[in-house]
Chains A and B, each alone.
Chain A
Amino acid sequence: MLKASTTERSPDVRRPMMVSRGWVQAAALVILFGFAVLGFLAFRTYETGPPIADRVVSQDGKALFRGDDVIKGQKLFLKNGLMEYGSVLGHGAYLGPDFTADYLHRAALSVTRQYGGAASSTAQAKVIEDFKTNRYDEATKTLTYTAAQAVAFEELVTYYGNYFGPTSGEKGMRPDAITDPTQIRQLTSFFAWTAWSGSTLRPDKNYSYTNSWPPEPLVDNKPTANVMVWSVLSLIALLAGIGALFAAFGRWGERFGWKGRQADTISFRPPGDVVLTPAQRACAYYFLVVGLLFFIQVMVGAASEHYRADISSFFGFDLASWLPYNLVRTWHVQLSIFWTATSFLAAGIFLAPMITGREPRRQHWLAYILLGALALVVFGSMIGEALDIHGVLPDVLGAFGMQGWEYLDLGRFWQVLLTVGLFIWVIILFRGLRGRLRVESRGNMPWMFFYTALAIPAFYAVGLLTSSDDSFTIADFWRFMVVHLWVEDFLEIFTTVLVAYIFVMLGVVRERVALTVIFLDIILYSAGGVIGTMHHLYFSGSAAETMALGAFFSAMEVIPLTFLTVEAWSFLQLGARQESKSATPFPHRWAVMFLVSVGFWNFLGAGIFGFLVNLPIVSYYEIGTALTANHAHAAMMGVYGMLAMGLALFCLRYLIPTERWSDKLAKISFWSANIGLAWMSFATLLPLGILQLYASVNDGYFAARQLEFITNPTNSVFEWMRLPGDLVFIIGGVLPFLWLCWLGVRYRVGGSRDQLDEILFTEITEREPVEVGDR
């Protein structure tokens, strides 16, 4: 166990692995298989994505726009933060329309009118013919629009000129957001290209480049056979998988290591007795940053919510000219990643010396450098985003401004700096763990801690492949390598490792059980999670097999999330089961309760709400609606937010002197954050999502994404229903937490040294046996 390392070993003798090699082999196999398939799909995406024609001309030969314009339009779309206002191909924000569906619908209406209107007997067939026929000539890289489509294009240039110009302010964007006619034309070209990909049949196929998304009756876009078949198959796979897993566990579960061992009788070291290292003390500042960013995140979140409930006035104040919706939404989304990640980074730095038992010299210098870099990235990127969305950032400074891909909004410069920072963090961990890594088998917990930490920057770095010079289809593929693989695979695993380690340190479980749980998690999460990335790319222009494999494997993801989550859910409850007779009080009551809530939200937010939007047939109508927001909030805040809070409380318990610590504030924060989140989900996001899905199937996706629908009276009632929950969350959840973070800095425990007694408890041997008589 942990104590083993306190007895010095000679460096060459590693402690043998605590579990069978089979676990490592199985985990490696699953991950390799996953990435091999992903590699193949990446290749196919380059091969089969919708082409961008060099020239688009109308049938009479008039030039309409060039391929260049499409890419420039895409860049304008991103730079102006429009992906944080509305979406294209279903990806982006949900206040504005989906511009793919918007263009397609309006263009189809225009063409219908030109062919004699809906009443005409032939118009409809001709419209469908116009939009479905693939007139792209591979040889000349020329795309031909019918005369009617060309007219529609010109009409829409005018329409979007008005949309992003004079009327943009009342829609929640910066007033007069884009006025340059060339830019409007480029933007429209970009929308036109996505709409073309959405409606035009692939060569030799009877569905479009996007598996016939968006649903649009005017051009006869409806779910394809693939969409149906793979929905059904993935559902069957899920049910069969769950059944098989439960059966297997029923049969062999007890061999997996948790043999119902009795909780050891232990005595917790009172936090005041645990001497901290300099780097651990540095973490106090990290948590203050965490608290502050969390607070800012919910405040800008509240502002963006206000736009949905009441778009035109902010209590009589013209908010859009200062903080347009897309700016507050950008900040909201970016901060959600920043503050949770900062907490994980700090927790890693805090735990490393506890694992190793000592700290290399000047480790805290690195920690402070990293914190400085993080603060620079956070505030620098936020300022850059604001300048770009307000249109005042000169083009030469583009790398500091808005990159604009949702979740990767920060400018290139900041993105690179953040990647570097994350690698510095890994170096910090490596330095801190080195003493321990040397004496441990490479399959043991300290190494798992290190590997899973390394995966985080490695996959953040993959996001650098997302380039706005590539077609949307390709860029989006790489974007989801970060967005999805982070949260649904590597962070889940890192979470398990962190929690398992904390549990070992608190004497909740033995190391062997913890390691078994870690390997089981790696296998189960990665089996579905790696290829499951493709569930974001059903309709963004990748080949149909992307959808097939994505649906199938992401359904598999739900197996761990129902099974494992019930398992992890119960695992996470172990910490709260303080029923043994400890001689000293358990110091982490609320930290472990936060872990209990992580288990719950992982089940509900990720597992159930995630699956709710996961089947291709559901996603087809649902993508980019409130049901996604429901899942995103319940999963992101529920799992990683609660985890970040719990980790912070765990560390702060040692950073704040006992007499200054307040269990009461921690309790209020715990209950308020959970009640607030549950309320947000069930009072607003879920019912709105159901209504919007209904509208999407019934009246069409176009209608369901229009502002008129989103702000209709029934929806507004649900939007206002949020208010009490949001208040509870902010006032009861965030503020007390922020205060505790502040206490960590204000009263940070003094005195430090670089040798630690790593264990946070001591096992006590019970008094002399008292013989128990038989009955």
Chain B
Amino acid sequence: MALHPEALIVGGYAVILLVVAAALDWLAQHSQQRSERFRTAGFSYLPQHDAWTCSEDAMLWPMEYDELHHLVRYRAKASVCNSCLVKPSCTSSANGREVTRAVAPWPHSEAGRFHRGISMVLVGCAAVLQLVAAARHLEPSTLVLGLPMLFTIWLGIRYSAHFRAAPANFPEPTPATGLRVTQTSRTRWGSDAWEGK
């Protein structure tokens, strides 16, 4: 009862697909973090204080939790920034520099969902390939496909759970007016739940 080579090929390839899916997901997450660098380079986050420091050693404190975008907004004191020498390369705001930090888990953004979606396509592809191979060679030896299949299902559930839980973080269009930013994105100066934490 030799294993049919096709089942072996498909099983092996399915494992490759899963590894690639995981690698792509990890890389996408990494590239997303780098894209944050365009905004936060020069700033460092201090987890123990939940605050940021800038290159000029000013502190940025949490100001607001933005429900819509699932991020925390941090701000420096306006008086510090407005008298800062490097302000022109930092911000045009008169209210002090703002930095944001995403709190929702990866993939927390629309771009994240896209990348996660691609990884899920790979997982789906692995699943379908194995089912087809199993159906074509209905014999006991094909049971070895069970192992990669379990792995496939596990990764599929894992990825899709995140996918279902994480919103697209994009203002949803309302039927009447096309795109419209909902109220929650409005700044709630000072009066936020994070204040005085």
Decide if A570 is an interface residue (CB 8 Å cutoff).
Answer: yes
23 contacts between A and B (CB under 8 A): A260-B38, A261-B90, A262-B91, A262-B99, A570-B35, A573-B31, A581-B181, A581-B186, A585-B173, A586-B179, A587-B179, A658-B178, A663-B179, A674-B117, A675-B117, A678-B125, A682-B125, A691-B9, A714-B5, A770-B95, A771-B79, A772-B76, A774-B77
Contacts of A567 in B (CB 8 A): 34
Q: Which residues of B lie under 8 Å from residue A509 when comparing CB positions? A: 38
Chain A residues near B38 (CB, 8 Å)?
Answer: 258, 260-261, 509, 513, 570-571, 574
Smallest CB separation, B114 vs chain A (Å): 6
Is the Cβ of A570 less than 8 Å from the Cβ of B90? no
Q: A259-B41, A600-B28, A663-B173 are in contact. Are A766 and B94 (CB under 8 A)?
A: yes
- Say whether B149 faces chain A, with CB atoms less than 8 Å apart: no
Interface centre among A254, A579, A717, A775 (most CB of B within 10 A): A579
Does B6 sit within 8 A of A, measured CB to CB?
A: yes
Output the least CB separation between B62 and chain A (Å).
9
Beyond A570-B32, A682-B125, A774-B77, 12 extra complex contacts between A and B, CB < 8 Å: A573-B35, A577-B111, A583-B181, A585-B179, A585-B180, A589-B110, A600-B115, A604-B24, A674-B118, A678-B118, A687-B9, A772-B76
Q: Does B93 contact A (CB under 8 A)?
A: yes
Residues from chain B with Cβ under 8 Å of A724 in the complex: 128
Is the CB–CB distance between A260 and B95 below 8 Å?
Answer: no
Are B34's CB and A570's CB within 8 A?
A: yes
Whether B129 and A683, one on each chain, are in contact in the complex, defined by CB atoms closer than 8 angstroms, is: yes
Residue of A nearest to B179 (CB): A585
User: In the complex, are the beta carbons of B179 and A259 less than 8 A apart?
Assistant: no
Given the contacts A663-B173, A671-B117, A682-B122, A569 and B186 also touching, CB distance less than 8 Å:
no
Whether B75 lies near A772 (C-beta < 8 A) is yes
Q: Which residues of chain A are within 8 angstroms of B110 by Cβ–Cβ distance? A: 576, 589, 593, 596
Q: How far is the CB of A251 from chain B (nearest CB, A)?
A: 13
- At the interface, yes or no: B96 with Cβ under 8 Å from chain A? yes
> Which residues A61-113 have CB closer than 8 A to chain B?
none
Contacts A585-B178, A683-B125 given; does A775 touch B196 at CB 8 Å: yes
Q: Name the B residues within 8 Å of A604 (CB-CB).
A: 24
A679 CA to B89 CA, complexed, in Å: 44
- Across the interface, B77 reaches (CB within 8 A) one of A258, A264, A600, A772, namely A772
The 3 closest A-B pairs by CB, nearest first: A570-B35, A585-B179, A260-B41
Judge if B142 is at the interface, Cβ distance under 8 Å.
Answer: no
**Residues of the B chain whose Cβ atoms lie less than 8 Å from the Cβ of A573:** 31-32, 35, 111
A579-B190 contact given A573-B111, A769-B78, CB 8 Å threshold: no
Contact A254 B95, beta carbon cutoff 8 Å: no
CB distance from B131 to the nearest CB of A (A): 11
Quick check: is A578 within 8 A (CB to CB) of the other chain? yes
Judged by a CB distance under 8 angstroms, whether B100 is at the interface is yes
Knowing A262-B97, A678-B121, A769-B78, say if A574 contacts B114 (CB, 8 Å).
no
Distance in angstroms between the alpha carbons of A268 and B133 in the assembled complex: 52
Asked, given contacts A581-B186, A589-B179, A691-B9, whether A260 binds B121 with beta carbons under 8 Å apart, the answer is no
Interface residues of A in 729-775 (CB under 8 A from B): 763, 765-766, 769-772, 774-775
A690 at the interface (CB under 8 A from B): yes
Among A260, A579, A679, A770, which residue has its beta carbon within 8 angstroms of that of B125? A679
In chain A between 660 and 713, which residues have their CB closer than 8 angstroms to a CB of chain B? 661, 663, 671, 674-675, 678-679, 682-683, 687, 690-691, 713
CB pair B39 A261 closer than 8 Å: yes
B180 surroundings in chain A (CB, below 8 A): 585
- Given A714-B6, A771-B78, verify A260-B40 contact (CB < 8 Å): yes
Question: From A257, which residue of chain B is reached at the shortest CB distance?
Answer: B89
Q: Which chain B residues border A663 with CB–CB below 8 Å? A: 173, 178-179
Considering the complex, give the chain B residue whose CB is closest to the CB of A510.
B89
Q: For window 11-43 of chain B, which residues contact chain A by CB distance below 8 Å?
A: 13, 17, 20, 24, 27-28, 30-35, 37-43
Interface residues of A in 592-627 (CB under 8 A from B): 593, 596-597, 599-600, 603-604
Contact B114 A593 (CB under 8 A): yes
CB-based contact B132/A577 at 8 Å? no
Collect the chain B residues with CB atoms within 8 Å of residue A593's CB. Answer: 110-111, 114
A566 at interface, CB cutoff 8 A: yes
A567 to B82, CA, bound (A): 31
Q: Are B96 and A254 in contact (CB under 8 A)?
A: no
- Interface membership of B92, Cβ < 8 A: yes
Closest to B169 in A: A579
When each residue 132-162 of chain B gets 1 if its CB lies under 8 Å from chain A and 0 otherwise, what string results?
Answer: 1100100000000000000000000000000
A599 / chain B contacts, CB cutoff of 8 Å: 31
**Is A571 in contact with B63, judged by CB distance below 8 angstroms?**
no
Known contacts A576-B109, A721-B132, A772-B75; A765 and B94 CB within 8 A of each other:
yes
Residues of B near A118 (CB, < 8 A) are: none
Contacts of A671 in B (CB 8 A): 117
**Does chain A have a CB within 8 A of B65?**
no
Q: How far apart sit A773 and B133, CA to CA, in the bound complex (Å)?
A: 65
A29 interfacial contact with B, CB 8 Å = no
- Interface flags, B63-92, vs A, CB<8A=1, else 0: 100100101000111110010000001111
| A675 near B181: Cβ-Cβ < 8 Å | no
Cβ of B94: which chain A residues have Cβ within 8 Å of it? 765-766, 769
Q: Is the CB of B42 within 8 A of A577?
A: no
For residue A582, CB closer than 8 A to chain B, the reply is: yes
Q: Give bound CA distance, A181 to B129, whole Å.
A: 47
Contact B114 A600 (CB under 8 A): yes
The distance from the CB of A286 to the nearest CB of chain B, in whole angstroms, is 24
> Shortest beta-carbon distance, B60 to chain A, in Å?
10
- In the complex the two chains form, is B95's CB within 8 Å of A674's CB? no
Give Cα distance in the complex from A569 to B100, angstroms.
Answer: 20
Complex CA distance for A577 and B39, rounded to whole angstroms: 10
| Residue pair B118, A600 in contact (C-beta under 8 Å) | yes
Give CA–CA (A587, B187) in the complex, Å: 21
Q: How far is the CB of B4 from chain A (nearest CB, A)?
A: 10
Partner of B95, one of A579, A659, A766: A766
Which residues from chain A contact B66 at a C-beta distance below 8 Å?
579
CA distance A582 to B89 in the complex (A): 21
- In the assembled complex, which residues on chain B have CB atoms less than 8 Å from the CB atom of A570? 31-35, 37-38
B31 and A262 contact, CB distance less than 8 A: no
User: 1/0 per residue A210-243: CB within 8 Å of B?
Assistant: 0000000000000000000000000000000000
Complex interface: chain A residues within 8 A of B114 (CB): 593, 596-597, 600, 674
Q: Are B43 and A260 interface neighbours, CB within 8 A? A: yes
| Residues of chain A lying within 8 A (CB to CB) of residue B185 | 581
A263 interfacial contact with B, CB 8 Å: yes
CA distance A661 to B178 in the complex (A): 9
Please measure, in the bound complex, the distance between the C-alpha atom of A278 and the C-alpha atom of B19, giving whole angstroms.
Answer: 51
